[in-house]
Amino acid sequence: MRVVLALGGNAMTSPDGAARPEDQLAAIRVAMRSTARLVAAGHDLVLTHGNGPQVGNLLVKNELAAHVVPPVPLDWCGAQTQGTIGFMILDELEAALAAEGTDVPVAGLVTRTLVDQADPNFAHPTKPIGRYLPEAQARTMIDHGQTWEDRGERGWRRVVASPEPVEVLDAPAMQTLLAQGYVVVGAGGGGIPVVRDADGRLRGVEAVIDKDLTAALLARRLEADVLVIATDVEHAAVDWGTPAQRDLTSVPLTEMRGYAAAGQFASGSMGPKVDAAIRFVESGGPRSIITSLERITEAIEGGHGTRILPDPAPDDHAGDPTGQASTRHTS
């Protein structure tokens, strides 16, 4: 099958959230072992990843050096972290594939994602990024054109736009690499946000794109058989944290929409993952899966994790309990 796998930021840092270079490398090494097993099982793979901690590190460097050199824009931060994380993934995935006895080639692609200049999120930036600063330090960054908000006792925090992804511009290159048998690493951090001006030229913009929404868009563009969103839990759950908590396994699209509309998934954690998984199936994707990184192969080939499936046809009484009916891409 053709799989688009979205790794969360937790796969790029240590369990306690530390993001020193050695922490990031160790975490990626562990993540690539699970990823290599998926490739060794014969599946075509496009791997996307988060970049929040890495961009956060760059933002701190921007702040500390702002009185000496101008801070680099957020789209540059995205491009830099795609390159850094991408090369670490390539090294560790190649080593993990070799350990599995598999010699599938791997390629990383710096990836741009088109957004709409008229997206209302640009007029009202609300996505908080980076650390809290005292007002005096925040004013220095405001003087460089950034938007910061007073968050009370904790200090000031930067906010940026989070526009909807419209198109993954480098998806055709990914398609070509997949056709040549490559595992592709791309669209890190949701892609570098760019807009198209009236003359047709592209330019980067200060924004953050939700990485899982980009993964859903990319999965449809590449005609993936499954979108897998890997996180630190094995299932999405309803009534989380209460005695009535229930793990979700195989869920029709309309039912999952209902849970989301009822506010069952936290906006800062599971909510965006569920939203992306729903969008992929809504747009015609065969199925989405949310599960832990360690169980991704089992989830794809069996019945593990939370699986969001198209609504059954009115006369569909049997169906496929694992949602594996699609055979458009076989290995």
Amino acid 146 reads Q
Instruction: Give dist(CA 225, CA 125) in Å, integer.
Output: 34
Catalytic annotation on 101? no
Catalytic residue among 9, 130, 285, 323: 9
Which residue among 86, 186, 189, 211 is the active-site one? 211
**Cβ density class 95-113: b for 16+ within 10 Å, e for less:** ebbeebebebebbbbbbbb
Backbone phi, psi, residue 42, to 5° = 105, 10
Active site residue 211: yes
51 given a catalytic annotation: no
The active-site residue out of 10, 51, 57, 62 is 10
Could you say which of 56, 121, 127, 319 is catalytic?
127
Tokens of 194: 């760019």
| Cα of 67 vs its chain's centroid, Å | 33
Give yes or no: 57 in active site. Answer: no
User: Are residues 127 and 272 in contact, defined by beta-carbon separation less than 8 angstroms?
Assistant: no
Read off the tokens for 114: 């088109």
Our answer to whether residue 127 is catalytic in this structure is yes
Query: Does residue 89 contact residue 47 with C-beta atoms inside 8 Å?
Result: yes
* CA atoms within a 13 Å half-sphere pointing along the CA-CB vector of 144: 19
Sequence-ordered list of residues with C-beta below 8 angstroms from that of 195, at least 6 positions apart, any chain: 114, 115, 116, 117, 202, 203, 205
Catalytic residue among 8, 52, 188, 273: 273
Q: Which residues are marked as active site?
A: 9-10, 127, 211, 273
